[in-house]
Amino acid sequence: MKIEQIELREIRMPLKSPFETSFGLTSIRRMILLKVFSEGMYGIGEVACGEEPGYNHEATDMAWIALTDFLLPHLIGKNLEDAFGFESTAKKIRGNHFAKGAISMALHDVFAKAANLPLWKFLGGTKTMLPIGLSIGIKQSPEALAEFLSQQKTSGFKRFKLKIGPGRDLAFVDAARNAIGPDTALTVDANSAYSLADTALLKKLDDYNLQYIEQPLGYDDIVDHATLSKELLTPICLDEPIHSSDDVRKAHLLGSGKVINLKLGRVDGYAESIKIAKFCAANNLGLWCGGMLESGVGRAHNLALQTLPGFTLASDTAPSNRYWETDIIEPEISMIDGMASPLPGVGLGVNLRDDLIHNLTARVLNIA
């Protein structure tokens, strides 16, 4: 397919309520929607990195430059054999994972449309019952967290994940465990806020029957995580340092974690994601799909991804109405009894709410 035109659009979406992690507070999400046009169709992807380089090195404004100055000049006008046709070019440009991820998403959407298939089937997905977990930002106090969780009792989520950080950890986990009871799946995500010097404190988390502890140590570390793994009974889940299937292979070799949080954007898109799902299945690693507070476009891609065999644990693809007053897609992402289904439409399977998107737009660039 020939890539005839590309549209880049930054949108700004106010979250229903601010989301706090150990690296910062987010109130308004700035994401970049990337559309590729070919043969009368389009495919769409989302750059889901943070507004600031607090999660990883990428940020919205830097991704815009990576796309306009370095990546898209190699894509416009190209005739691609298949949805992986941009991979070798993308590899020559180092880093900038979320920017590349959006290109991969858009290409897979448009190639799935050309094949007249739902994206999840185009990818080789087989799972149709997708368990969903909820990620919960750091609350003001353990009491506020317990109160929030009691309100979630009938929500159906298959797992609750608490954001934690130094000084906002044990008392919060204790309050959460008491609020939800001993059997509901519970995890924590530190977003790299601790070091090996905190081992004694992290060991205390073993008392709470957590499914896993996500990314306790350095955002680029897999070595100290291997040391920590040996000290803890609770499995470690890796998020930030995983950028490729090779990273998963190395982490597994070192024993850095038993569980992988896979984010499409963090690993450059679908090619590496598919390899990671295969590797995790073959090596008995737990796998689930993470989130970056995406709009419906990113959420729909995340649903398609987690239909691949290999996904074993509840994913962070909460329904649209968890974060947004109104999402930019129709139908919105939803779940029943904590389970979502892959979208049945051709390609990504959503319609864009262009009326809303127009009003949320901060800048647009058309490349032809």
Of these, 13, 293, 333, 357, which contacts ligand OSB (CB under 6 A)?
293
Q: How many Cα neighbours within 13 Å face the side chain of 89?
A: 18
- Residue 10 binds which one of ligand OSB, Mg ion, none, with CB within 5 to 8 A depending on kind? none
152-211 binders of Mg ion (CB under 5 A)? 189
Nearer Cβ to ligand OSB, position 37 or 212? 212
Look up 163 and say whether it is catalytic. yes
DSSP H or E run through 63: helix 60-65
316 binds Mg ion (CB under 5 A): no
Look up 127 and say whether it is catalytic. no
Here the tokens at position 128 are 């149709």
Nearer Cβ to ligand OSB, position 248 or 346? 248
294 binds Mg ion (CB under 5 A): no
133 binds ligand OSB (CB under 6 A): no
State the number of binding residues for ligand OSB (CB under 6 A). 11
Here the tokens at position 85 are 């046709």
- Dihedral of the CA atoms 151, 319, 101, 255 (nearest 10)? 40
207-266 binders of ligand OSB (CB under 6 A)? 239
Of these, 37, 42, 55, 270, which contacts ligand OSB (CB under 6 A)?
55
**Are the C-beta atoms of 186 and 180 separated by less than 8 Å?**
yes
221 binds Mg ion (CB under 5 A): no
Ramachandran assignment for 32, one of left (phi > 0), alpha (psi -120 to 50 degrees), beta (any other): beta
The residue annotated as part of the active site, out of 2, 263, 275, 278, is 263
Of these, 56, 60, 96, 191, which contacts ligand OSB (CB under 6 A)?
191
- Residue 180 binds which one of Mg ion, ligand OSB, none, with CB within 5 to 8 A depending on kind? none
Shortest Å distance, C-beta 261 to Mg ion: 6
Q: Which of 346, 215, 223, 216 is nearest to 290 (CA)?
A: 215
Q: Is the bond leading into 331 cis (omega within 30 degrees of zero)? A: yes
32 binds ligand OSB (CB under 6 A): no
DSSP codes of every residue in 186-229: EEEE-TT---GGGHHHHHHGGGG--S-EE--S-TT-SHHHHHHH
Compute the distance between CA of residue 1 and CA of residue 6 in angstroms, rounded to an integer. Answer: 13
- For ligand OSB, which stretch binds (CB under 6 A), given 4-12, 152-160, 224-232, 287-295? 287-295
157 binds ligand OSB (CB under 6 A): no
Is the four-CA dihedral 210, 26, 175, 224 of positive or negative sign?
A: positive
Q: Please count the residues of the chain.
A: 368
Torsion angles phi and psi, residue 365, rounded to 5: -135, 130
Nearer Cβ to ligand OSB, position 80 or 291? 291
**Are the C-beta atoms of 237 and 213 separated by less than 8 Å?**
yes
Shortest Å distance, C-beta 16 to Mg ion: 20
The residue annotated as part of the active site, out of 163, 204, 250, 258, is 163
308-327 binders of ligand OSB (CB under 6 A)? 316, 318
Residues of the shown chain interacting with Mg ion in the complex, contacts defined by CB under 5 A: 189, 214, 239
Interface residue list for ligand OSB (CB under 6 A): 55, 135, 189, 191, 239, 290-293, 316, 318
Could you list the active site residues?
A: 163, 263
